[in-house]
């Protein structure tokens, strides 16, 4: 096996007309291009979802503010939530998976390249459909435009009696369409990881990223299905006279909650497991040690995958379940903290005794550990169902899950971005700007989400477009909004760094981080065919074996 | 050799630099902790002068108090876990960072340790067991508490965007401001609420009295409170229910037993008929008002909006969105959107004279 790529003469990119080059991006079935499309799509949506969040935070900066009307505010939080989950987090994570899985397991592409392209475009069209509601949502009634039912769209607000016009239909169809894309990608991940590994790479020798995306893929298939079913049932309710969720005709509002959360809670892990995957690749390389307890990491993730399907009703502690129901979901929700805790300890074990190089990626991962620890502990508080009767649906919950989704997932996404940007673009980013990005975003994140816990403790519910003065909420909301501007500044630095480095960055070389997995053995960016010759591996760190022939990993595994 | 001798002082300089930056970091963390403590004092240590500021950590009723006690245990355990894990993280970040004078050699490659893995699996399981047992006790004690003989029964019905309270045993119907008697161990008079919804999902949340419970159409939920102190407790709808979810506010008046008895007495009376407001009454009864509002003893028997029989006994209108004053009543009748945009009360389009008379009539409904 050779770690060097074979240089082939390529047609100069700039020589061809731009229309032809764009056309290639549209018709491509190359996993690398589709991965990049996913990520860019997610980044654009991140900016849109961020603008929606900013509008909400400006509205809440003082009590009785008149920046936007209640109608607009309700649309903003619905679109913000739906966008960030379905059109930002999932596409970006799928994008990294699509780009990296074949490269990390020594394959030339995904198992089903055409399905891969189909899935991306379904997801993309789902997003366009959702945003088309701003134009088309009025329908015949002249009421509403973008959906305003909240991102979990509780019945019966979505019934025709309470949601006139077509805004809810755009929401339903958008999730249905992008859900088909998600299932396609998940099937592809599972098939690719199971069938396309290079010789020598047994399941026990796969990089953790491949393992975790395999588990995530399985979870997507299981979790998106009930969501899709629920969307179809809702459509039947709205247009074919069904009464699944139509409470005015005897339907059940709680049934929708069960359908949504049996999707919704695994979804949290669907998002966070790829984030764990990034941390599991980045932390070892920058600590210069192999991942601590590889088999335990895999087992813990499989365990999380299973248990995550039995915790959904902890979103429903206040809907009047029996005391036995509440007790059951309390215990399952607490139990999931055990494998999650094991993972945190294993990352700490990886850093312990290493020589940690705090490049931007590692900074983001260290912050991830810190923030995910806090998110896990507030999660324990919320799993304690009586405590949840107080904290549920308050700003405390908002702070908690933004700690997960921003503090853990988005931080590791930024870490992953800096880590694999040299591989994807062939150029190095600017490390100083990346550190500015980190610190600005870190400060902004903590200003916003640390202080967001407090109004929840003081009784501020979520999803209110304004609040009464004199309840002790003003100062916290002010601080929270100020934090947003630091986050915006951080993201601006990130975008500038991205664009600047694409044009002027230093050439990265094949392996800028002295890393150990197969993607670093090929050129940056990798050729269309990924590997000129199929690699053969003997351990979890094939490049370590290559670089340290006197002390290879396979002797110990 | 020359290289080694020149690099020695260099390393020293770097180390002092590192010590200084470490000191700066420690100072930063100290400032941060001080800030958090200050925030906590501001937040929780403020004088308990009024119950106007809701706060889950200042319980005034048995259910909220049980939750508070449980939360102290949970906060202590999670706090300890945080301190331990954060210390490990901080230690490894500081101790194992790559030093300036690093020789570039790889650190010892450690692949794992079964003993250590076992330890950090078993210890969390034990912690979870403790937390779970403590939690289960509170779940059952709050949720399955038996209803004593002296309990007041109230049916709370959530509407877009207001609260209807019915006291079936006492024959009282009111809106948005729940009156309950104070309860003390000697003479326990808890209030048991049956929660229903007329339209979408809502949630009843008064943090100092109990955790929240949802009001869901086609379903009856139950909760109870036994406030220990008299006063007004604030809360609001905690489940998104539509455009004006934000102004579906909730006030609970905890009265002394005698006061509560008098309040019930007053509320049971039919509406006052005042000849001076005859014109206003005529307008009320001949316009769309009666389609939604009820006034006992008159033709008005609508149920879509709040019962107005004793409107003036309430401190607020529009579910707590505005104080119950003459100006606000006028504004509410004429232009509800000026107080609560998106509420389901229509603008009544009255001329100035009729508006004046109607407001005067409403003001007689004591």
Which tens digits make up the pLDDT trace of A250-276? Answer: 999 999 999 999 999 999 999 999 999
pLDDT at A184: 97
Kindly state the average pLDDT of the residues A192-213. Answer: 96
Instruction: Yes or no: say if A73 and B240 are a contact pair by the CB < 8 Å rule.
Output: no
Share of chain A above pLDDT 90, in %: 91
pLDDT at B11: 38
As annotated, the residues of chain B forming the CATH 2.60.40.420 domain(s) are 50-96+116-255, 275-364
Q: Which fold has domain B275-364?
A: Immunoglobulin-like (2.60.40)
- For residues A382 and B100, which has the higher predicted lDDT (pLDDT)? A382
Nearest CA in chain A to B237: A461
Share of chain B above pLDDT 70, in %: 86
Instruction: Yes or no: say if B328 and A56 are a contact pair by the CB < 8 Å rule.
Output: no
CB contact under 8 A, B221 and A468: no
Of B24-33, B46-55, B105-114, B332-341, which gets the smallest average pLDDT? B24-33
pLDDT at B25: 54
Nearest to B120 among A69, A345, A377 (CB): A345
Nearest to A390 among B56, B143, B246 (CB): B56
Per-residue pLDDT tens over the stretch B37-77: 455 544 444 444 455 689 999 999 999 999 999 999 999 99
Residues with Cβ within 8 Å of residue A208, at least 6 apart in sequence: A277, A280, A281, A291, A294, A297, A298
Pick from A447, A451, A371: nearest CA to A403: A371
Beta bridge partners, B252, equal: B178, B233
A10 pLDDT more than 70? no
Which residues of A are less than 8 Å from B21 in CB distance? none
CB contact under 8 A, A290 and B111: yes
pLDDT at A401: 96
pLDDT at A131: 93
Instruction: Yes or no: say if B128 and A337 are a contact pair by the CB < 8 Å rule.
Output: yes
Distance between CA atoms of residues B262 and B306, nearest Å: 21
B18 pLDDT more than 80? no
CB contact under 8 A, B144 and A374: no
Nearest to B142 among A357, A366, A386 (CB): A386
pLDDT at B356: 95
Number of Cβ pairs < 8 A linking chain A and chain B: 283
Q: Is the pTM of this model over 0.90?
A: yes
Pick from A528, A149, A348, A127: nearest CA to B93: A348
B26 pLDDT more than 60? no
pLDDT band at A15 (very low <50, low <70, confident <90, very high): confident
pLDDT band at A277 (very low <50, low <70, confident <90, very high): very high
Report residue B192 as tokens.
Answer: 């048991």
B contact residues 257-296, partner A, Cβ 8 Å cutoff: none
pLDDT at A141: 52
pLDDT at A14: 59
Q: Which fold has domain A34-555?
A: Cytochrome C Oxidase; Chain A (1.20.210)
Instruction: Yes or no: say if A535 and A197 are a contact pair by the CB < 8 Å rule.
Output: no
Per-residue pLDDT tens over the stretch B247-268: 999 999 999 999 999 999 999 9
Distance between CA atoms of residues A288 and A433, nearest Å: 24
Q: How buried is residue B293: exposed, middle or buried, by Cβ count under 10 Å (0-12/13-18/19+)? A: buried
* Residue B98 touches partner A, C-beta closer than 8 Å: yes
Instruction: Yes or no: say if A443 and A487 are a contact pair by the CB < 8 Å rule.
Output: no
Nearest to B242 among A157, A293, A457 (CB): A157
pLDDT at B32: 57
Which residues of B are less than 8 Å from A454 in CB distance? 39, 43
B185 pLDDT more than 90? no
Instruction: Yes or no: say if A356 and B97 are a contact pair by the CB < 8 Å rule.
Output: yes
Pick from A177, A104, A112, A166: nearest CA to A134: A166
pLDDT at A137: 66
Q: Given phi > 0 = left and psi -120 to 50 = alpha, else beta, which region is A514?
A: left
CA atoms within 13 A on the CB side of B245: 29
pLDDT band at A557 (very low <50, low <70, confident <90, very high): confident
CA atoms within 13 A on the CB side of A517: 27
Nearest CA in chain B to A77: B240
Average pLDDT over all residues of chain B: 88
pLDDT band at A279 (very low <50, low <70, confident <90, very high): very high
Mutate to test the interface with B, among A457, A459, A466, A474 (most CBs of B within 10 A): A459
A205 pLDDT more than 70? yes
> How close does chain B come to A189, measured CA to CA in Å?
27
Nearest CA in chain B to A373: B82
Mutate to test the interface with A, among B218, B222, B233, B304 (most CBs of A within 10 A): B218
DSSP B97-136: BPPTT---PPPP-----HHHHHHHHHHHHHHHHHHHHHHH
B287 pLDDT more than 70? yes
> How close does chain A come to B68, measured CA to CA in Å?
8
DSSP A260-312: HHHHHHHHHHHHHHHHHHHHHHHHHHHHTSPPTTHHHHHHHHHHHHHHGGG-G
- B50-96+116-255 CATH choice from 2.60.40.420, 3.50.50.60, 3.40.50.2300, 3.90.1150.10: 2.60.40.420
Question: Using N-to-C axis directions, what is the helix angle for A323-335 and A360-383, rounded to 10°?
Answer: 160
Per-residue pLDDT tens over the stretch A418-443: 999 999 999 999 999 999 999 999 99
Scored b (16 or more CB within 10 A) or e, B147-171 reads eeeebbebbbbbbbbbbbbbbeebe
Average pLDDT over all residues of chain A: 94
> How close does chain B come to A96, measured CA to CA in Å?
26
CB contact under 8 A, B200 and A74: no
Which residues of B are less than 8 Å from A451 in CB distance? 39
Cis preceding linkage at A525, omega within 30: yes
Per-residue pLDDT tens over the stretch A122-168: 999 999 999 999 887 665 454 458 999 999 999 999 999 999 888 99
Per-residue pLDDT tens over the stretch B317-355: 999 999 999 999 999 999 999 999 999 999 999 999 999
Report ipTM (2 d.p.): 0.92
Kindly state the average pLDDT of the residues B22-46. Answer: 52
B contact residues 126-155, partner A, Cβ 8 Å cutoff: 128, 131-132, 135-136, 138-140, 142-144
Report residue A516 as tokens.
Answer: 């150990």
pLDDT at B49: 43
């Amino acid at each position: 096996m050779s770690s060097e790529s074979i240089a082939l003469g390529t047609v100069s990119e700039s020589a061809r007309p731009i229309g032809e080059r764009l056309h290639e991006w549209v018709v491509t079935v190359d996993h690398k291009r589709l991965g990049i499309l996913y990520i860019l799509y997610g980044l654009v949506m991140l900016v849109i979802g961020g603008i929606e969040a900013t509008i909400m935070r400006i509205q809440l900066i003082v009590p009785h503010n008149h920046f936007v009307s209640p109608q607009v505010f309700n649309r903003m939080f619905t679109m913000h939530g739906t966008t960030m989950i379905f059109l930002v987090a999932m596409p970006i994570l799928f994008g990294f998976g699509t780009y990296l899985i074949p490269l990390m397991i020594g394959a030339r592409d995904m198992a089903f390249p055409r399905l891969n392209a189909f899935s991306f475009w379904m997801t993309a069209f789902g997003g366009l459909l959702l945003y088309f509601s701003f134009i088309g949502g009025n329908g015949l009634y002249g009421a509403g435009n973008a959906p305003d039912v909240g991102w979990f769209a509780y019945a019966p607000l979505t019934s025709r009696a309470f949601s006139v016009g077509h805004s809810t239909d755009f929401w339903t169809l958008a999730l249905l369409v992008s859900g088909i894309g998600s299932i396609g990608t998940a099937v592809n991940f599972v098939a690719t990881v199971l069938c396309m590994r290079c010789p020598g790479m047994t399941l026990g020798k796969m990089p953790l990223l491949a393992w975790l995306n395999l588990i995530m893929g399985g979870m997507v298939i299981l979790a998106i299905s009930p969501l899709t079913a629920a969307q179809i049932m809702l459509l039947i309710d709205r247009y074919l006279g069904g009464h699944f969720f139509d409470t005015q005709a005897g339907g059940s509002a709680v049934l929708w909650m069960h359908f949504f959360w049996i999707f919704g809670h695994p979804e949290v892990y669907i998002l966070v497991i790829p984030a764990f995957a990034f941390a599991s690749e980045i932390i070892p390389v920058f600590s210069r040690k192999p991942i601590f307890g590889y088999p335990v990491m895999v087992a813990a993730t499989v365990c999380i995958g299973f248990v995550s399907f039995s915790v959904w009703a902890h979103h429903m502690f206040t809907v009047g379940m029996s005391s036995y129901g509440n007790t059951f979901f309390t215990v399952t929700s607490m139990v999931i903290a055990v494998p999650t805790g094991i993972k945190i300890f294993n990352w700490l074990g990886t850093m312990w005794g290493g020589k940690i190089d705090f490049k931007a990626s590692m900074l983001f991962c260290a912050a991830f550990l810190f923030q995910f620890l806090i998110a896990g502990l507030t999660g324990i508080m919320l799993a304690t169902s009586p405590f949840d009767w107080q904290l549920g649906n308050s700003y405390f919950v908002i702070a908690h899950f933004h700690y997960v989704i921003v503090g853990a997932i988005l931080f590791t996404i930024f870490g992953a971005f800096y880590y694999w940007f040299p591989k994807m673009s062939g150029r190095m980013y600017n490390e100083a700007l990346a550190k500015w990005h980190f610190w600005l975003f870190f400060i902004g994140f903590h200003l916003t989400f640390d202080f967001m816990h407090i109004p929840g403790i003081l009784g501020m519910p979520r999803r209110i477009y304004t609040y009464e003065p004199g309840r002790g909420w003003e100062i916290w909301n002010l601080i929270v909004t100020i934090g947003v501007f630091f986050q915006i500044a951080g993201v601006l630095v990130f975008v500038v760094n991205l664009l600047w480095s694409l044009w002027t960055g230093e050439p990265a070389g094949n392996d800028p981080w002295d890393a150990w997995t197969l993607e670093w053995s090929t050129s940056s960016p990798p050729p269309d065919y990924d590997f000129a010759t199929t690699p053969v591996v003997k351990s979890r760190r094939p490049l370590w074996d290559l670089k340290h022939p006197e002390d290879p990993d396979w002797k110990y595994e | 050799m020359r290289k080694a001798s020149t690099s020695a002082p260099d390393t020293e300089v770097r180390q002092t630099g590192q010590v200084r930056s470490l000191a700066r970091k420690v100072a930063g963390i100290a400032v941060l902790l001080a800030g958090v403590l200050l925030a906590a004092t501001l937040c929780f240590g403020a004088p308990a002068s009024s119950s106007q500021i809701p706060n889950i950590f200042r319980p005034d009723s048995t259910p909220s108090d049980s939750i508070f006690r449980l939360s102290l245990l949970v906060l202590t355990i999670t706090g300890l876990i945080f301190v331990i894990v954060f210390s490990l993280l901080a230690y490894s970040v500081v101790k194992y960072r790559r030093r300036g004078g690093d020789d570039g050699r790889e650190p010892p490659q450690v692949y794992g340790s079964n003993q250590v893995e076992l330890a950090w699996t078993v210890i969390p399981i034990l912690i979870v067991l403790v937390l779970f047992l403590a939690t289960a006790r509170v779940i059952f004690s709050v949720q399955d508490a038996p209803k004593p003989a002296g309990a007041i029964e109230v049916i709370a019905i959530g509407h877009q965007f207001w609260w209807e309270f019915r006291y079936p045993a006492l024959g009282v119907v009111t809106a948005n401001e729940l009156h309950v008697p104070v309860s003390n161990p000697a003479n326990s008079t808890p209030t048991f609420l049956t929660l229903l919804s007329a339209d979408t999902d809502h949630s009843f949340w008064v943090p100092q009295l109990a955790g929240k419970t949802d009001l869901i159409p086609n379903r009856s939920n139950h909760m109870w409170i036994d406030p220990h102190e008299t006063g007004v407790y604030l809360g609001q709808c905690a489940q998104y229910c539509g455009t004006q979810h934000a102004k579906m506010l909730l006030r609970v008046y905890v009265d002394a037993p005698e006061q509560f008895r008098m309040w019930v007495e007053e509320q049971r009376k039919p509406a006052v008929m005042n000849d001076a407001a005859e014109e206003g009454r005529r307008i009320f009864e001949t316009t769309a008002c009666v389609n939604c509002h009820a006034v006992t003893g008159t033709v008005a028997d609508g149920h879509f909006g709040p019962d107005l029989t004793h409107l003036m006994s309430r401190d607020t209108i529009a579910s707590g969105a505005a104080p119950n004053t003459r100006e606000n009543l006028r504004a509410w009748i004429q232009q509800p959107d000026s107080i609560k945009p998106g509420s389901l009360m229509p603008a009544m389009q009255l001329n100035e004279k009729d508006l004046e008379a109607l407001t005067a009539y409403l003001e007689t409904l004591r």
